[in-house]
Chains A and B, each alone.
Chain A
């Protein structure tokens, strides 16, 4: 009563509380880098950024679905590696089971998607039925999947990388190719699923309170398993994109993305406690992180510094979430 919020304070509150806050941040990053890095604002680089962010985008979308149900999926990056190896073993030029066959590419894609769905399904079953903590279950499956990927590759080709993938598959990775289109479609579908359908409402309800949801007739176990299956599927889409773009199958694809995935979702405003989040927010988060990474790359920051910065970014993201909710609540 004694303090009158000034206009500046109100403006801060409006900006910080806005749904588009992270978009403003993206703009700020863009403006901050543009004067120092000559190539940053070029059309080529912007297109580059947009294409480069697709794997992260699809991963973050899957993660958002899981986070909304108050879970977490740390296995996604390992699913990328495992999917990459499995797919390459199906179609690869050196050791593939279907090498040279016209069916190679569709079968490989199916195998990769199936791998993701299977891992997700197992995660979900452990969490929903065996009531194990999501964080430990997916950490374990991360270890298992990446170990399995290396072991499979070693068994098949005595090396970690599998080359000579069919051109039809590599075409999926072209900027503006079918792969990119499908990913964009998948993200849109996830967005609509959450905002417009019954299942979406169930996701939020389970995230808010699984017990009350069960009593209210929500198929809680189904929703949880579904969230992890979707997350696994989305991870294998990222795997398809990365494998095609890098033209090799390797267990190491996507290994560095884990922090970015969670960071993007959290920066966007999705809560780690469940019940709060949107696919669109995660899209903004992905855009922000990609711009930041791209900018740092262009100013020649060393590899270990980027690791440190990424650690810092997730801290800031989490802090931002605490700070935003405090400011918006007005205390």
Chain B
């Protein structure tokens, strides 16, 4: 009976990220003529690649109504270890494998804590966040590491005219999207996030599903670390700090719910990541006070969470 107006509001909320994206493009485009150029837009996409990958992993976790706060720490530990190895003359490929491996390992640790030891996801990953950052600082001895040029070359390499980071991000996003939409595993993740008790009763292997989700998230964080490292060319003691916010924000901005069971990697999370990076890129171009960035970021996170909650009210009301 009263379903129609609600439906209307719902679709308005669903299109909010796209609308926001358009607004950002228009505002910064009018503000500075250097924003809407092909070079800058490619730059934005390039900058979004790492965030998009980490946010893709985060989407898996958020779909199960969990959260992974340790992604930034994963990036830091991996980068620190890879940096040390690279300086010691190890081949680049091995360093990259180690970074991804660190992601898998910390992801597996989170999975163990959450599924076996039954800790709340947010507490368990908060603890691994601290443990990870402590370990990272121990590895790097709290000093910045400048990496060999091979790393930077990785970031600027192109294939068929498209930068390598975009290929990697595209591959990760595509496989994540297909896994979520078209495999039993993916559909079962949605079920688990919607109603864990019912998922258990339906005979799903809830523990394995949950564990897999955290391992995937850790792995994506490792990959994202590689891309971020390839862009920066150095490991600072603050490397990866607050990346968990970016990842959560990108996912939630793209329509993934913190309450579990709803969200998509493509276009949702990807759009969220690009939107986030466009804003920062625009702020840099218009030369805003860098000390305002945290305030703006938190404003965007707030908006994203508010939108998610608004969708939740509508769902609860209907």
Contacts and interface: CB of A to CB of B under 8 A. Distances in A.
Contact between A and B in the complex (any CB pair below 8 Å): yes
A318 B138 contact: no
Contacts of A150: 291, 294
Interface stretch (A126-134, A161-169, A222-230): A126-134
Contacts of B137: 303-304, 307
Interface residues of A, number: 39
Interface stretch (A55-63, A91-99, A140-148, A185-193): A140-148
A144 B293 CA distance: 10
Main secondary structure of the interface of A (DSSP, over half): helix
Contact of B133 (A272, A307, A314): A307
A147 B298 contact: yes
Nearest to B139: A304
B88 interface: no
Given A130-B309, A140-B298, A151 B119 contact: no
A9 interface: no
B39 interface: no
Given A132-B306, A319-B117, A311 B127 contact: yes
B295 A147 contact: yes
Contact of A307 (B130, B309, B312): B130
A143 B134 contact: no
A151 B118 contact: no
Main secondary structure of the interface of B (DSSP, over half): helix
Contacts of B124: 315, 318
Contacts of B295: 144, 147-148, 151
B117 A147 contact: no
Given A272-B120, A315-B113, A136 B258 contact: yes
A130 B127 CA distance: 29
A324 to B, nearest CB: 13
A144 B128 contact: no
A137 interface: yes
Contacts of B302: 137, 140, 144
Given A144-B299, A307-B130, A318-B123, A131 B313 contact: yes
B309 A132 contact: yes
B131 interface: yes
29 contacts: A131-B313, A132-B309, A133-B259, A133-B305, A135-B67, A137-B302, A137-B305, A140-B298, A140-B305, A143-B301, A144-B299, A151-B291, A151-B292, A154-B291, A259-B130, A272-B120, A304-B135, A304-B138, A304-B142, A307-B137, A308-B134, A311-B128, A311-B129, A311-B131, A311-B132, A312-B131, A314-B127, A318-B119, A318-B124
